[in-house]
Amino acid sequence: MLSWMQLEGECIPRDIGEAQRWARAAADQGIAPAMTRMGMLYHNALGVNRDPAEAARWWRRGGERGDADGQAMLGAALALGSGVPRDPIAALAWLLRGQAGGSTLAAPFLGTARAALDADGLAEAQRRAAAPLPEPAP
């Protein structure tokens, strides 16, 4: 929470360096939303060089641990091929997980992700989205 407050300038002065430091500390302790925040820092080049692959790696770590925004952002990255190879089925599956978890970040990408698939691809994405989360990567 401190990381988010420093990043947004909520109640305390904005300090991107400290926001990154606290996000990394929380992510290193296994806090899924902090992992997603690290992805956003790399995606938006906040205190770090822009690195789409590193952003996607952090979103995957957060998403695999159940963070809905991490799931949605990983789905968007997979749909666009940003930092990861394009994978329309995996993209829709992660977007659906994120949406089901309450992320509003999934909505702008769902139509495009669905349009990229035929009926079999849609069914497979829905099956994956309904399955238990994969074992988190270290």
Helix axes 52-64, 32-44, angle to 10 degrees: 160
- Residue 69: name the closest of 35, 114, 45, 42 by CA: 35
pTM above 0.85, yes or no: yes
The pLDDT value given to residue 46: 84
Spatial distance between the Cα atoms of 42 and 138, rounded to a whole number of angstroms: 19
138 within a domain of the structure (yes/no): no
> Can you give the CATH number for the domain in which 64 is found?
1.25.40.10
The reply to whether 47 falls in a domain is yes
Q: How many domains does the chain have?
A: 1
Q: Where are the alpha helices (DSSP H) in the chain?
A: 2-8, 16-28, 32-44, 52-64, 68-80, 88-100, 107-115, 119-130
Residue 31 tokens read as 């806090």
For tokens 């993209």, the residue is: 91
Q: Give yes or no for a contact between 121 and 87, defined as CB atoms under 8 angstroms apart.
A: no
Please name the amino acid found at residue 119: A
Enter the DSSP assignment of 131: S
pLDDT tens for the 138 residues of the chain, in order: 666 666 666 677 777 887 888 888 989 999 999 999 999 999 988 888 999 999 999 999 999 999 999 999 999 999 999 999 999 999 999 999 999 999 999 999 999 999 999 999 999 999 999 999 988 776
Asked if the structure places residue 124 within a domain, the reply is yes
Report the 10 Å Cβ neighbour count for 85.
8
The encoded tokens of residue 26 equal 């929380």
Locate 77 and state its tokens. 């990255």
Residue 136 falls within a domain, yes or no? Answer: no
**pLDDT for res 114:** 98
CA distance 102 to 81: 24
Domain range for 107 is 2-130
Q: Considering the domain boundaries, does residue 135 fall inside one? A: no
